Chain A
Amino acid sequence: MFHAAARPPVALRIGRPVRTLSAGNHHPLLCHMETDQGPAGLWVVKPAIVLSRSTDRGTFGVLAELAGAEVCAWAGILTPQVGITRFPKAFDEASLRAAILTLGPSECDEILETYRVNGGRVAFCGRYLGPATNLVPGHLLRPKWRATAAPDAVALLTADAYMRHDDRVRDNPNALWFENRLVAIDHGLAFAGPTRRGALGDDLARRTALHAPNFPRHIAFRAVRKLATEADWDVVTGRLESVPASSVTALAASWPANLDEDDQCGQAQLRLRMARFLTERRSHVRELVAVLRELLSRGQSRK
């Protein structure tokens, strides 16, 4: 159900789309998926080409999702199991329409159009966690859950600084509460920078100033300020620092080769850039943590 570090993405095939998940900006599809062995349950399929918003991320978004899940696993944060699928190059529109007949006409049209524009393209898949709810600060601050919530909150804030991810605020937490644990989702906008012309990856990894001003609005910020202990910071720092370089290499090798180039952003060698970023970033965890703690203490003194 959850992603484990170094585990390659599951190869999946779309069985039947169930509906669009329209609560966020991405509008992924909720689908019954299949593996070679048989039905694989419900998964959230995030196509590379998104109709619901304008983005130049394209297949880099898929790469960011895969790498984001890995960073979460390194930091000790739960994140749904990851998979990869490919939209069929050609599909029978009539039978697809029949499979989603119970949905409203606009949702049907959106699904059909998603299939058309993503035909033959790779898409990221995350295991669907049914009864999970969006994370609210109350989950993290509730005394009975603090034993896990406090270290999870510290790990989440640190992991987001680590992967240059600023898309996890109160209104759009991109984190769930599932069986009384924090679960991080949606890393399509993480790793800001590698798609820029001339970016190498390791150059970005050396930047330890927070790349976005909205970290004080991070969903875990208040809980971290209130609950974080020295031990929580030590644990997450240790976890991220101790990732061996060979793990990063193996990880990059597990990503599909066609994620290397992206016709959306027009950049090549994206896997290499990401691998360079992840390899170099490990040496800067302490600086990142110091920056975060400085920001947290500033918030406190203003209060």
Chain B
Amino acid sequence: MVRVEFRLLQVILSPVSGDRVTVALLHWDRTTFRVASSTAALRALERDHREGLRVAIQDVVRSAERKTKEVSERPVLDIGLAHVLPVREGFGAALYWSPVTAVETADAEAHFAELRQELRLDANALTRGRRMTNAVVYEELSALGRKMQLEERVRPWVRTDYVVKLETTYQPPLSWKNARWHHAVPLSMDGLQPWQMDEAVQKAYGLVELSFPEREVAVLVPVLPRDAELLGTGRNELRILETKLGSRIAIVAPEWRAGKLALDPIVVRIRQDIAHVS
């Protein structure tokens, strides 16, 4: 049997009735520290209060996640969960740490999974809750370009500092040459409502029309919505763009894998293009 300790981070809905909702779980089995969280329950609060609470909860969860990593890399002396991750206990502002509860179990991992399910907490809910913005995709593409430039064979054909100019200028995060210059253009529709997707597509259309010389190809890197209900709308918006811009653009969509954006299709496309010219 393993002794596990856990405590809950809760949002106080009413100090009078004592009503609370759970937003995070810390779990310690003397060797492994686990964290689960979800801010879905904040829907019970007024909109004005939700975001401030979300920021405070993210702060707590991030610090717990850092501790998880730290403990996995450098084991700590076990004198209890309260020592592994000290928190300010007690009833004060809207966030409340429950007292540490200790139980014995045959399988700590399964115990954590069960608690997580009971409490409706998803380990990566906070991370997945954040929308993948154009700025993030831009950074990831730019980082990918810098990484590819480390390969000697690829270096002459890949750039991260190219500027395209027609009526207006635009610096793509990543460019590569295959007879014509190709430039990645992030187009994130993740977390957007249909009208916002429409706007994002219009912006992308304007960008290609105004900044890209006809001989150069804008390779759109669309991030489709993770919400299954909006996926169809996203695909439809892309089809409209493809129809309007024809051969001036290409579309290479990255994939969602375990909550993360995998840029493998872009890498494959660049390698194929470069192989073709060299």
Contact = CB atoms under 8 A, between A and B. Distances in A.
Contacts of A131: 45-46, 49, 53, 94
B107 interface: no
Contact of B88 (A130, A137, A172): A172
Interface string B74-112: 000000000000001111111110000000000000000
A136 interface: yes
Contact of B15 (A19, A133, A139, A172): A19
Interface residues of B, number: 25
A291 B59 CA distance: 30
A30 B52 CA distance: 22
Interface in B18-67: 18, 45-46, 48-49, 51-53, 55-56, 58-59
A21 interface: yes
A177 B89 CA distance: 18
Contacts of B1: none
Given A139-B52, A178-B52, A179-B49, A133 B94 contact: yes
Interface residues of A, number: 29
Nearest to A171: B88
Contact of A22 (B49, B55, B91, B94): B91
Interface in A136-174: 136-139, 142, 171-172
A176 interface: yes
A24 B53 CA distance: 19
Nearest to B55: A138
Contacts of B16: 18, 32, 42
Contacts of B51: 180
A132 interface: yes
B92 A23 contact: yes
A23 B53 contact: no
Interface string A28-66: 001010000000001000000000000000000000000
Contacts of A30: 15
A172 to B, nearest CB: 7
Given A23-B93, A131-B94, A178-B52, A138 B59 contact: yes
B58 A23 contact: no
Contacts of B93: 23, 132-134, 176
Given A133-B94, A133-B95, A177-B52, A23 B59 contact: no
A138 B53 CA distance: 11
Contacts of A42: 15-16
A257 to B, nearest CB: 32
Given A42-B15, A128-B15, A136 B55 contact: yes
B90 A180 contact: no
A138 to B, nearest CB: 5
Interface in A109-145: 128, 130-134, 136-139, 142
B1 to A, nearest CB: 29
B91 A21 contact: yes
Contacts of A20: 91
B53 A134 contact: no
Given A23-B91, A24-B90, A177 B15 contact: no
A30 B14 CA distance: 12
Given A19-B15, A179-B48, A179-B49, A134 B56 contact: yes
Interface string A175-195: 011111000000000000000
Contacts of B96: 23
Given A23-B93, A132-B93, A142 B55 contact: yes
A30 B90 CA distance: 13
Contacts of B48: 179-180
Contact of B90 (A21, A130, A133, A136): A21
Nearest to A52: B90
B257 to A, nearest CB: 28
B52 A133 contact: yes
B56 A177 contact: yes
B88 A133 contact: no
B15 A23 contact: no
B90 A139 contact: no
Contact of B52 (A24, A102, A137, A180): A180
A132 B88 contact: no
A176 B92 CA distance: 11
Contacts of B15: 18-19, 30, 42, 128, 130
A291 B90 CA distance: 36
A168 to B, nearest CB: 14
B94 A130 contact: yes
Contacts of A176: 93
Nearest to B49: A131
A23 B88 contact: yes
Contacts of A139: 52, 55-56
A268 B92 CA distance: 33
A128 B89 CA distance: 19
Given A23-B91, A130-B94, A134-B95, 11 more contacts: A18-B15, A22-B89, A23-B90, A32-B16, A131-B53, A132-B52, A132-B94, A133-B53, A139-B52, A139-B56, A180-B52
8 contacts: A21-B90, A23-B89, A42-B16, A130-B14, A133-B56, A133-B95, A134-B93, A180-B51
Identify the 5 closest CB pairs spanning chains A and B, nearest first. Answer: A23-B92, A22-B90, A23-B90, A131-B49, A136-B59
